[in-house]
């Protein structure tokens, strides 16, 4: 077997040194960075439409009888994103046209607290919706009931009043 010549050894050593220098010469820097930007969060906007409260509500001692009137409403998503609605309940009830709280009218015997909003069965103090509305979607025909509880005391101040009923979305 033939040995390498001196020239070959020098060449081999030179190649190894060049390769080691190339590998050892490969270097890089590391760092961390942060960035920031701005964005606007879109707002959700639901709208009650075609709210209709049945006529001639009058005191009833229990959740039964013809004095309990229907409240029919539609819900419309007028935002550009989907909106989840859990339930709808009564926000307020005031005298139509004046906005007066009922307790302040006449002799004060017509109390806001005597009016109840219920689901059609009377079980819940809200109407269950439990629906995700897509942008532009309208769902019609939700219904609840408005009840004037008969307190067994004079409620004459309620007679003939026009009522302004405000509903609200409750996702709690």
Between these two residues, 37 and 118, which has the higher pLDDT value? Answer: 118
In a domain, 106, yes or no: yes
What tokens does 98 get?
Answer: 């004046």
Please check whether residue 103 lies inside any domain of the structure: yes
Q: Given this model, what pLDDT does residue 3 score? A: 73
Q: Which of 88, 93, 89, 87 is nearest to 57 (CA)?
A: 93
- pTM greater than the 0.85 cutoff: no
Flag whether 12 is in a domain. no
Q: Is residue 77 in some structural domain?
A: yes
Could you give the number of structural domains in the chain?
A: 1
Count of CB atoms situated within 10 Å of the CB of 168: 12
The total number of residues shown for the chain amounts to 172
Least reliable range by pLDDT among 32-46, 57-71, 104-118, 131-145: 32-46
Q: Is 20 left (phi over 0), alpha (psi -120 to 50) or beta?
A: alpha
Read off the tokens for 28: 């890089």
Q: How far apart are CA 54 and CA 146, in angstroms?
A: 8
CB atoms within 10 A of CB 127: 21
């Amino acid at each position: 077997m033939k040995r390498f010549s001196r020239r070959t050894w020098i060449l081999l050593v030179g190649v190894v040194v060049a390769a080691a220098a190339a590998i050892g010469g490969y270097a890089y820097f590391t760092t961390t960075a942060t960035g920031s930007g701005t964005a606007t969060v879109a707002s959700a906007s639901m709208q009650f439409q075609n709210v209709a409260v049945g006529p001639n509500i009058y005191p009833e001692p229990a959740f039964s009888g013809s004095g309990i009137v229907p409240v029919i409403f539609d819900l419309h998503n007028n935002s550009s994103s989907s909106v989840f609605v859990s339930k709808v309940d009564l926000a307020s009830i005031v005298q139509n046209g004046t906005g007066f709280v009922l307790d302040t009218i006449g002799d004060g015997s017509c109390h806001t607290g005597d009016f109840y909003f219920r689901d059609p069965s009377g079980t819940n103090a809200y109407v269950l919706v439990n629906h995700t509305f897509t942008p532009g979607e309208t769902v019609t025909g939700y219904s609840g009931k408005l009840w004037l509880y008969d307190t067994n005391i004079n409620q004459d101040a309620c007679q003939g009043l026009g009522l302004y009923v405000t509903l609200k979305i409750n996702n709690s």
